[in-house]
Amino acid sequence: MKIASVIVDVPAKQTDKTFDYLIPEQWSDIIQPGTRVVIPFGPRNIQGFVTEIKSESDFNNLKAIIEPMDLEPVLNHELLNLGDWLTEHTLCFKISAYQVMLPAALKAKYEKKIKISSGAAVNDLAPILHPFFQKGRTLSWDEALQFGIVPALKKETENGLLEVHYEVKERIKKKKLKFVRPLLSAAELTAEIAKMTGRQVKQKEVLTYFVLYHEPVELKKLLSDLSISASTVKSLVEKKILIEEDMEVYRDPYLNRTFERTKPLPLSEAQKAAISPILHSIEKGEHEVFLLYGVTGSGKTEIYLQSIQNVIEKGQEAIVLVPEISLTPQMVNRFKGRFGDLVAVLHSGLSAGEKYDEWRKIHRGEVKVVVGARSAIFAPFENLGIIIIDEEHETSYKQEEMPRYHARDVAIERARNYNCSVVLGSATPSLESFARAQKKVYHLLTLPTRMNNQALPSVEIIDMREELREGNRSMFSRKLFEKLKERIERQEQSVLFLNKRGHSSFVMCRDCGYVMNCPNCDISLTYHRAGGQMKCHYCGYESLVPKRCPECSSEYIRYFGTGTQKVEDELGKILPEARVIRMDVDTTGRKGSHERLLKEFQEGKADILLGTQMIAKGLDFPNITLVGVLSADTMLHLPDFRSSEKTFQLLTQVSGRAGRHELPGEVIIQTYSPEHYSVELAGTQDYDLFYNREMMVRKTHRYPPFYYLSLITVSHEELLKAVKETEKIVAFIRSQLSNETVILGPSASPIPRINNRYRYQCLIKYKREPNLIRTLKTILDQYQKDTKSGLQVSIDVNPFILM
């Protein structure tokens, strides 16, 4: 008998290894590496992934696999190996690595079921239980609770008359619909029609239909197309002329839309120069990472499309990642428009069932291209020819829970396995990527101008301190107010952007714009309402909010934070005639609402679109001529060393929303820090200068891309315990790592308490540290084994958010 190595679905240290099981003879053809199986594990039946088939085991008395869950493996060889890589690089459990590669629908759920023990009979049970176990029936745990019979069940379980089983339930059923198809050939059908009497009009009609369209048709459609009743079809089925069948159908969210097919455009000289190295690497089957750096509208997407075309012609497949928020219908249309049914789309707006269907199209090789958000990087293709990551600087490519992977790293690893290339595209590349391009680790490709040679919009920076000085206490500067009014009169549209992210607030002087920074870290202090304190979450520095500004002695020093709701209210007061659409997490929570609101705006049903960063992306409407940024500062002062970079990226991105078409665009950026280089340089849209400035800051403070980071977060219900353990960890790390490495902490996490657990952290900055992964693993092993202490330790290698 063959033996399977299985990774079981219990995410814990003790079970983070393979277990051996016998493969029953009847399943030996089906169970392969990558198949999910149901296995007995302790007292329960649970799910597992087969990773290897072998003929011998070091263990005796192996249990047998109960049954396979798949008819074909859900993970191919390459993805199984990628699981090893993920485990090693993100320090996650193997089971978490496999689970993250699959659509949610394939994640098993266990149902607790109560059954009569073999040998026991219904009449042996307490009478109250008789009705529930008649004729071999089983009882689900939910039913048991509902009928209030748990105590009786418990007693009979102790008596050995009942047993509890755990059954693995698949969450999603494949969608099936009733179809009808002819059993006879067209000629035979014609003969049948001839035999029918004049009264059988409806039946004749149905047969004629099938003579013409000799293929299965959905029953419902047939009934409505021919306006006939189900009984007509039924009698033809009884005569064995037609047959009714359940057929599996895909829930295609784009099924009822038509996509205007597009053809490759003749490329501009700049595009030709940029695409040529990509095409060369496709032709040669070489692995290379390209950084395609070009402003919005410079023709990057056309380059993606034509590269993919070459890949498809070679018989290979493509993955295109775009950030969730820019996975708009407009974006999807461009890929569907070029490649039609060869495209699958994966994003969080789809239901679990829809996602599963899209995934299966990829799995079965029915599509060649997948366009999706972060997790689409795990698309189960087997012959990848290119991976494209648009807006590569976006933070949403990093998953913030286990496994804490960055899609860019996974992309490069997969591309290496397939000897294919990765194209990273951005108008404002991440510092990491641009630095790698400068060092020739990545191949830099540049598109310097917009396709239509349209000038970038003019950007004006408004100093809000000046406004206050002149008596304007509103959140709208006089200039922005005037421009908004002007747009309404001209019947043009405006976008108002509230640069707000996270929950932190910072403390700032409204007179001079002075922001309270940490003296050690060059990062703004976070305001804590309780106690009116400000804290640094990198080093632990604390201080009280001063009564007066240390810079100019003004009393107007306070913490900051404004919501979209508040802006909408104020707009109602100062511009009552304006029709406003608000887009934020509150108004776009429901499925499809994002799309609907955008559509309304596009149709001109509003003058102003007001929103958070979610509106910064993908908007490309001809009538937008004004973009206003209400508060450029909010992000600038988050306790994050990337805050300048993110501010620059966002301001550049929103500015790009104006004047994409014939009408020229204007941008107004309101700020209390007009002299800050990320605001100033976003105003002139000068990425190169920004890059140079920011690199100097990163170098001085030893941040990426000069140093790598790892973040250890420790949490416990008792504050003291959390601090003490973090101290121990810091000491241990110090003893293991080199002197060049900077180890900061213990300090409170930016969110110091979650769910009544206190959180402390240690931040490691290093350049080369061969011992790091081993050291971190030792720490994890230690704490994951010791589950009784109540301590939780999590480690994020290359964290994006230092919370």
What residues are designated binding site? Answer: 509, 512, 518, 521, 536, 539, 549, 552
The β-bridge partners of 716 are 758
As measured in angstroms, the least distance from the Cβ of 740 to ligand ADP is: 40
103's contact among Zn ion, ligand ADP, none, with CB below 5 to 8 A by partner kind, is none
- The three-point CA angle 412-417-422 to 5° equals 35
Is the separation of the CB atoms in 353 and 251 below 8 Å? yes
In the annotated binding site for Zn(2+), the residues are 509, 512, 518, 521, 536, 539, 549, 552
Long-range contacts (CB closer than 8 Å, 24 or more residues apart) made by 10-15:
10/41, 10/46, 10/95, 11/93, 11/95, 11/96, 11/402, 12/93, 12/784, 12/787, 13/93, 13/780, 13/781, 13/784, 13/785, 14/785, 15/95
d(CA 295, CA 316): 29
Residue 521 in the binding site for Zn ion (CB under 5 A)? yes
Size of residue set near ligand ADP by CB under 6 A: 14
How far is Cα of residue 762 from the mean position of the Cα atoms in its chain?
27
Q: Which of 511, 633, 666, 725 binds Zn ion (CB under 5 A)?
A: 511
Give the residue, chosen from 271, 421, 517, 613, that forms a contact with ligand ADP under the rule CB under 6 A.
271
Which of the choices Zn ion, ligand ADP, none does residue 551 contact, using the CB cut-off of 5 to 8 A by kind?
Zn ion
Q: How far is the CB of 340 from ligand ADP (least distance, A)?
A: 18
Identify the residue among 98, 527, 538, 691 touching Zn ion (CB under 5 A): 538
Q: Of the two residues 353 and 750, which places its CB atom closer to Zn ion in the complex?
A: 750
Does 463 bind Zn ion (CB under 5 A)? Our answer is no
Q: Which is nearer to ligand ADP, 330 or 794 (CB)?
A: 330
Q: How far is the CB of 264 from ligand ADP (least distance, A)?
A: 8
Quote the least distance from Cβ 662 to ligand ADP, whole Å. Answer: 13
Segment contacting ligand ADP by CB under 6 A, of 73-81, 291-299, 464-472, 508-516 = 291-299
Question: Cβ closer to Zn ion: 279 or 552?
Answer: 552
Stated as kind and residue range, the H or E segment containing 187 is helix 186-195
Say whether residue 298 binds ligand ADP (CB under 6 A).
yes
Using rule CB under 6 A, residue 328 touches ligand ADP: no
Residue 521 interacting entry, from ligand ADP, Zn ion, none, C-beta within 5 to 8 Å by type: Zn ion
Q: Helix (H, G, I), strand (E, B), or coil: what is residue 604?
A: coil
Nearer to ligand ADP, 98 or 442 (CB): 442
Residue 267 interacting with ligand ADP (CB under 6 A): yes
| 233 touches Zn ion (CB under 5 A) | no
Q: Compute the least distance from the CB of residue 438 to ligand ADP, in Å.
A: 21
List, as one string, the DSSP characters of 233-266.
Answer: HHHHHHTTSEEEEEEE----TTTT-------PPP
Say whether residue 299 binds ligand ADP (CB under 6 A): yes
Residue 539 binding ligand ADP, by CB under 6 A: no
Beta strands 44-54 and 708-716 are unpaired
Dmax over Cα atoms in the chain, in whole Å? 102
Nearest to ligand ADP of 488, 663 (CB atom): 663
Question: What single letter denotes the amino acid at residue 693?
Answer: R
Nearest approach, Cβ of residue 459 and ligand ADP (Å):
18
356 binds, among Zn ion, ligand ADP, none (CB under 5 to 8 A by kind): none
- Which of 51, 232, 296, 649 binds ligand ADP (CB under 6 A)? It is 296
297 binds ligand ADP (CB under 6 A): yes
Of the residues 265, 585, 689, 754, which one makes contact with ligand ADP according to CB under 6 A: 265
Q: Where are the beta strands (DSSP E) in 9-153?
A: 18-22, 36-41, 44-54, 67-68, 109-116, 139-140
Structure-block tokens of residue 671: 């700020």
Angle of CA points 228, 232, 236, to nearest 5°: 140
Closest approach of ligand ADP to the CB of residue 567, in Å:
28
And the tokens for 408?
Answer: 């860019």
Q: Does 552 bind Zn ion (CB under 5 A)?
A: yes
Query: Which two structure tokens, joined as six digits, stand for 609?
Result: 């679109």
Per-residue H/E/C for 614-675 = HHHCCCCCCCEEEEEECCCHHHHCCCCCCHHHHHHHHHHHHHCCCCCCCCCCEEEEEECCCC
Q: According to the binding rule CB under 6 A, does residue 754 interact with ligand ADP?
A: no
Residue 763 binds which entry of ligand ADP, Zn ion, none, CB below 5-8 Å type-dependent: none
742 interacts with Zn ion by CB under 5 A:
no
Shortest Cβ 651–ligand ADP spacing (Å): 17
List, in order, residues 6 or more apart from 794 with CB less than 8 Å away. Answer: 402, 712, 713
Where are the alpha helices (H) located in 34-122, listed in sequence order?
77-90, 94-100
Are 402 and 97 in contact by the 8 Å Cβ rule? The answer is no
Q: Which amino acid is at 719?
A: L
Length of the chain: 803
Binding of residue 512 to Zn ion (CB under 5 A): yes
Binding partner of residue 271 among ligand ADP, Zn ion, none, CB cut-off 5 to 8 Å per kind: ligand ADP
| Residue 297 binds which entry of ligand ADP, Zn ion, none, CB below 5-8 Å type-dependent | ligand ADP
* Residue 570: CB atoms within 10 Å: 14
With contact defined as beta carbons under 8 Å apart, do 613 and 650 qualify? yes
Subset of residues 396 to 455 that bind ligand ADP, contact rule: CB under 6 A: 451
Task: Compute CA distances 799 → 638, 703, 795, whole Å.
Answer: 16, 12, 9
- Is 294 a binder of ligand ADP (CB under 6 A)? yes
- 534 part of the interface to Zn ion, by CB under 5 A: no
Contact 726, 719 (CB under 8 A): no
Residue from 5, 99, 232, 301 binding ligand ADP (CB under 6 A): 301
366 dihedral zone (left: phi>0; alpha: psi -120 to 50; beta): alpha
For residue 600, give the amino acid letter: E
> Which range touches Zn ion (CB under 5 A), out of 117-125, 142-150, 377-385, 547-555?
547-555
Shortest CB 433 distance to ligand ADP, Å: 16
Q: Which is nearer to ligand ADP, 616 or 729 (CB)?
A: 616
552 binds, among Zn ion, ligand ADP, none (CB under 5 to 8 A by kind): Zn ion
Contact yes or no for 609/646 (Cβ under 8 A): no
Query: What are the beta bridge partners of residue 37?
Result: 48, 68
Residue 665 CB neighbour total at 10 angstroms: 22
Is residue 546 part of the contact set for Zn ion (CB under 5 A)?
no
Q: Which does 731 bind (CB under 5 to 8 A by kind): ligand ADP, Zn ion, none?
A: none
In the complex with Zn ion, the residue whose CB is nearer, 439 or 547, is 547
Q: Cβ closer to Zn ion: 237 or 552?
A: 552
496 is a contact residue toward Zn ion (CB under 5 A): no
Task: Provide the binding-site residues for ligand ADP, judged by CB under 6 A.
Answer: 265-268, 271, 294, 296-302, 451
Task: Provide the binding-site residues for Zn ion, judged by CB under 5 A.
Answer: 509, 511-512, 514, 518, 520-521, 536, 538-539, 541, 549, 551-552, 554
